[in-house]
Chains A and B, each alone.
Chain A
């Protein structure tokens, strides 16, 4: 497999690889990472100390929380996925992107959508569906821009100079195919005004369609493209070939088939029909297998390179990322069991779970790729390796504080809500008594998030100094032998 990942000389002489688009997406990724995480830290503060809402409509938790989720998923997450795809697809397919115009349209269109989101969400313009809050004109723009990007990738694949499609490409393709399907069907709505619309689905059907979308936004926006990135960049950074080709096939097809079914686990014990809840639970539990297939394939790829994990910050980030992927894809299925969901649903435990995946898996592998790519596409030596290592430790400790704190908060509120005394009455009938128990957890979570944000700021500083530096990047490490 390693031959497919080999460093190519740079396309053909008349059509060299387009790395200008990669650079643009890297800069956008850094910008939106800082913005999205800053909003996250801010709203974390709002829960610990409500005056941080500032008495201004645009900055209340209810309006900023969707901005935070959209910014980290679609702005930070989306831009790093596209960064990684534009760089690796050209090299894996040994051909320049099909259309420079579409690449550029894709970039500016995506940034325009993000800016539109950052303006409309604080204004309270929302469809209220989680991770699909944006109003219908922006939804239309998302469909057009995403499909334009997908067309460019599809035509690049069609024009490829390598016959076999490397495993990373399969994962990228599943992302390009599934996201438009989810986005279009979940967003079907009748406009009332330019900024407001009502979905064609009602009640529990709307809820089911939303969580079919919502869970698979996790599956196909924050998982499959990132697994594709793992399959390209982990072998590149470690100099080791992918552990098992067969495992990658099995876990790919199992993952894309099983993921779609898991949505109803967001609606356990709700008014959704029981059979649909059960399907959601069963398929979520089955998802452990393909998820761990990916994790093991990633970790075992590092066999023979573990000594370098001790010194190389990029590999440190990758190891922690893949480990968190394994941890959160174990925790998720456990939380999908009805009896566990009965306790965890509606609590901070869910927030902790999401962030172990988002900060741990998505964030850490993104940082690794940024540290690996930036010196290469700008041909500049990384400004400070020790600063990158500091970032790694700040981020790792930050995640651990965040997750453990949210477990504590989730268990506390979940157990207090359900506690009954000997007489069969609620032990804590005043809801606010439970809310106020969470204050120390909220402060600690704020601290964990602040550490993670500080690390990201260090990275932005480090990479900008790298880009503006003068010393060229050392020649690429030896390509692993087939």
Chain B
């Protein structure tokens, strides 16, 4: 390899650290720019007609989503039904990009240790989720999911959720000032409905239990898409 010194790059590029750094930066930038930048223009164009179909998460659902994230539910459950026959049979209609428009962070997941959850909303009664989280094997025999009994004992902090709603509105989720001002009331209102459902099943819970917030989020998953399909007569 003694003739290496005669190669142009050996004298023109490789002794020059600054040039190497610039070239490397250019090389690593191209792919990311080409793939990511169009996502912003594309999503901006679509949003107008989406706003009516896909609703932002309510404060209680935001609280539930924060719990979902905290517990790492996304580590074992995906939220992305692929357009395959077996997946639509098992879970329901496939997922579309519009459905994720208010998802910050996205929670698609990368593993299905447990089943996909993107169509779980409305699939089971509220009491099912309450029992499932307390003892997964009581509702799903053979499950390897750990029990999450602390969700039934801990309370959500409404001021904490208000901070979340404010931050989400800052990054672009369209909450009205009225909604931001009434975060605790909105949470109580929605939580009370779930508490009533639980009471009907003989379960005593309070609207600010963490399990209620999580249930509201899970029951919300896929609901807007199903509603859209129902009004369109199921046509895709």
A residues with a Cβ closer than 8 A to B are 1, 46-47, 50, 53, 55, 57, 60-63, 65-66, 124-130, 154, 157-158, 160, 163-165, 170, 173-174, 177-178, 181, 185, 189-193, 196-210, 212, 220, 241, 244-245, 249, 253, 256-261, 263-264, 266-267, 269-273, 276, 279-280, 283, 342, 345-347, 350-351, 413, 417-420, 425-426, 429, 431-433, 435-436, 482
Given A164-B10, A198-B164, A270-B80, the answer on whether A257 and B20 have CB atoms closer than 8 Å is no
Closest to A64 in B: B72
CB distance from A39 to the nearest CB of B (A): 13
Given A61-B72, A66-B75, A165-B17, the answer on whether A273 and B142 have CB atoms closer than 8 Å is no
Which residue of B75, B114, B170 has the most chain A CB atoms within 10 A of its CB atom? Answer: B75
Contact string, B23-48, partner A, CB cutoff 8 A, digits 1/0?
Answer: 01101111110111011101100000
CB proximity to A under 8 Å, residues B1-34: 1-2, 4, 9-10, 14-15, 17, 20-21, 24-25, 27-32, 34
Contact A208 B39 (CB under 8 A): yes
CB distance from A335 to the nearest CB of B (A): 12
Closest to A214 in B: B110
Contact B143 A432 (CB under 8 A): yes
Extra contacts besides A128-B107, A271-B96 (4): CB < 8 Å: A177-B28, A192-B164, A270-B82, A417-B90
Contact B75 A202 (CB under 8 A): no
Q: How far is the CA of A198 from the CA of B149 in the complex (A)?
A: 27
Given A201-B104, A245-B4, A271-B97, the answer on whether A425 and B89 have CB atoms closer than 8 Å is yes
Contact A256 B80 (CB under 8 A): no
Q: What chain A residues lie within 8 Å of B36 (beta carbons)?
A: 205, 208-209, 212
Q: What chain A residues lie within 8 Å of B168 (beta carbons)?
A: 192, 198
Q: How far is the CA of A124 from the CA of B66 in the complex (A)?
A: 10
Contact B86 A420 (CB under 8 A): yes
Q: What chain A residues lie within 8 Å of B150 (beta carbons)?
A: 57
Which listed residue (B78, B90, B101, B149) contacts A202, Cβ 8 A?
B101
CB distance from B152 to the nearest CB of A (A): 12
Contact A124 B71 (CB under 8 A): yes
Contact B103 A203 (CB under 8 A): yes
Given A170-B20, A198-B104, A271-B96, the answer on whether A435 and B72 have CB atoms closer than 8 Å is no
Q: What chain A residues lie within 8 Å of B107 (beta carbons)?
A: 128
Which listed residue (A154, A205, A426) contacts B39, Cβ 8 A?
A205
Contact B97 A50 (CB under 8 A): no
Contact A260 B32 (CB under 8 A): yes
Q: What chain A residues lie within 8 Å of B147 (beta carbons)?
A: 53, 55
Q: How far is the CA of A61 from the CA of B113 in the complex (A)?
A: 11
Which listed residue (A165, A210, A257, A270) contacts B31, Cβ 8 A?
A257
A/B interface sample: 19 pairs, CB < 8 A: A57-B150, A60-B72, A60-B146, A65-B72, A66-B72, A164-B14, A170-B14, A173-B21, A196-B163, A198-B167, A203-B97, A203-B100, A205-B39, A208-B39, A350-B110, A350-B111, A426-B89, A426-B90, A432-B140
B115 at the interface (CB under 8 A from A): yes
Q: What chain B residues lie within 8 Å of A263 (beta carbons)?
A: 35
Main SS of chain B's interface residues? helix
Closest to B95 in A: A271
CB proximity to A under 8 Å, residues B83-117: 83-87, 89-90, 95-97, 99-115
Q: How far is the CA of A436 from the CA of B140 in the complex (A)?
A: 12
Given A65-B72, A158-B17, A173-B21, the answer on whether A1 and B97 have CB atoms closer than 8 Å is no
CB distance from A193 to the nearest CB of B (A): 5
B180 at the interface (CB under 8 A from A): no
Contact B102 A177 (CB under 8 A): no
Closest to B70 in A: A124
Closest to B108 in A: A207
Contact B32 A63 (CB under 8 A): no
Which listed residue (A125, A212, A253) contacts B27, Cβ 8 A?
A253
CB distance from A37 to the nearest CB of B (A): 19
Contact A264 B35 (CB under 8 A): yes
Contact B32 A126 (CB under 8 A): no
Which listed residue (A165, A178, A189, A433) contacts B15, Cβ 8 A?
A165
Q: How far is the CA of A210 from the CA of B100 in the complex (A)?
A: 15
Q: What chain B residues lie within 8 Å of A57 (beta carbons)?
A: 71, 148, 150
Which residue of B25, B72, B99, B109 has the most chain A CB atoms within 10 A of its CB atom? Answer: B72
CB distance from A277 to the nearest CB of B (A): 10
| 8 closest A-B pairs by CB | A62-B72, A203-B100, A260-B31, A192-B167, A53-B146, A261-B31, A124-B70, A271-B97
Q: How far is the CA of A11 from the CA of B79 in the complex (A)?
A: 56
Q: How far is the CA of A66 from the CA of B25 in the complex (A)?
A: 29
Closest to B17 in A: A157
Contact A61 B75 (CB under 8 A): yes
Q: What chain A residues lie within 8 Å of B85 (beta carbons)?
A: 420
Q: How far is the CA of A196 from the CA of B164 in the complex (A)?
A: 8
Q: What chain B residues lie within 8 Å of A220 (beta carbons)?
A: 28
Closest to B40 in A: A205
B166 at the interface (CB under 8 A from A): yes
Q: How far is the CA of A127 from the CA of B72 in the complex (A)?
A: 10
Q: How far is the CA of A145 from the CA of B85 in the complex (A)?
A: 49
Q: How far is the CA of A66 from the CA of B76 in the complex (A)?
A: 12
Given A212-B36, A429-B90, the answer on whether A61 and B14 have CB atoms closer than 8 Å is no
B160 at the interface (CB under 8 A from A): yes
Contact A206 B105 (CB under 8 A): yes
B186 at the interface (CB under 8 A from A): no
Which listed residue (A1, A276, A429) contacts B35, Cβ 8 A?
A276
Contact B103 A202 (CB under 8 A): yes
Q: How far is the CA of A193 from the CA of B89 in the complex (A)?
A: 41
